[in-house]
Amino acid sequence: MSLQDFSLDYFSLKGKTAIITGGNTGLGQAYTVALAKAGANVFVVTHGTNWEETKELLSGVEGNAEFHQADLSDREQLKKVVPACVDTFGTVDILVNNAGTIRRNPLLEYKDEDWDDVIALNLDAVYLLSQAAAKVMVERRAGKIINIASMLSFQGGKFIPPYTASKHAIAGLTKSFANELAEHNVQVNAIAPGYFATKNTAPIRADEKRSAEIISRIPAGHFADPSELMGTVVYLGSKASDYMNGHVLAVDGGWLAR
């Protein structure tokens, strides 16, 4: 590509197909809407089946949308996701590994089953879905895998040992996949969101003292709106990011720089 060749079309996802796990709520919903508005067909994988709000947000977008219910902690259900997307849209160009869970408890009281549940969804599912999607992408010599990391990919946190472990692992998995898949023209990167105004952070935001402590650490001075992640996921899913590989991109209002 020469300097003269570049245009805003490099950010277009027209004709692409994206799988977004957990794409019906929270930040996942923002990723879904962003990719669809950029022109992609979206294959939205959700644990539940209440899809009306997201369908309404997608009304009028250029790309088509398909909703697929699956429990990604169940490996048999997980194995059907990529084939179902290929059956629906013919291929998969972008995979956004967003689905995740968190369980809070003091370390000395932490339950084995909570550890297992968090790791199964936050880490095992990411590995298995990425591997399955990569097989399709490598055959076509094109693709984007976007993992969702966290501030807890860099820090330790408290009361959430499996979540922290899984998000550290996501950073490593991103780099590992990137090293192997780059030669096949498949780029693997991660987004590490900071503090966003979602249902997951509602208890923290309702606690005036804790909320004030967090905001005082964020140079931008506020919890972000999910819309502030939309440009990032479009960029990482588009041709514009073809030379970005193995990177964990923090979208945190400056949290890590403080």
pLDDT digits 0-9 by tens, 191-246 = 999 999 998 888 889 999 999 999 999 999 999 999 999 999 999 999 999 999 99
CA distance 238 to 151: 24
Q: Token digits for 83? A: 């084939």
Residue 115 lies in a domain: yes
* pLDDT given for residue 208 in this prediction: 93
Q: State which residues form the domain around 215.
A: 8-250
Residue 3 lies in a domain: no
* pLDDT given for residue 13 in this prediction: 98
Active site residue 195: no
Residue 41 lies in a domain: yes
pLDDT in tens, 78-117: 999 999 999 999 999 999 999 999 999 999 999 999 999 9
Among left, alpha and beta (phi > 0; psi -120 to 50; other), residue 220 is alpha
Residue 1 lies in a domain: no
**CATH number of domain containing 96:** 3.40.50.720
pLDDT confidence band for 5 (50 / 70 / 90) = confident
Residue 2 lies in a domain: no
* pLDDT given for residue 159 in this prediction: 93
> Is the confidence at residue 151, as pLDDT, over 70?
yes
pLDDT in tens, 45-73: 999 999 999 999 999 898 899 999 999 99
Helices 112-119 and 161-181: angle between axes, nearest 10 degrees: 30
Work out how many domains the chain is built from and give that number.
Answer: 1
Q: Answer whether 0.85 is exceeded by the pTM.
A: yes
Percent of the chain with pLDDT over 90: 93
Residue 157 lies in a domain: yes
Residue 199 lies in a domain: yes
> Is the confidence at residue 43, as pLDDT, over 90?
yes
CA distance 146 to 18: 10
Which H or E run contains 172? Answer: helix 161-181
* pLDDT given for residue 178 in this prediction: 98
* pLDDT given for residue 203 in this prediction: 86
Q: Report the sign of the C-alpha dihedral through residues 231, 237, 238, 243, in that order.
A: positive
Residues 6+ apart with CB under 8 A from 39: 12, 13, 14, 15, 16, 62, 63
* pLDDT given for residue 34 in this prediction: 98
Residue 89 lies in a domain: yes
Average pLDDT for the chain: 96
* pLDDT given for residue 124 in this prediction: 98
Residue 68 phi/psi, 5° resolution? -135, 120
Active-site choice (10, 31, 110, 163): 163
* pLDDT given for residue 1 in this prediction: 64
Percent of the chain with pLDDT over 70: 100
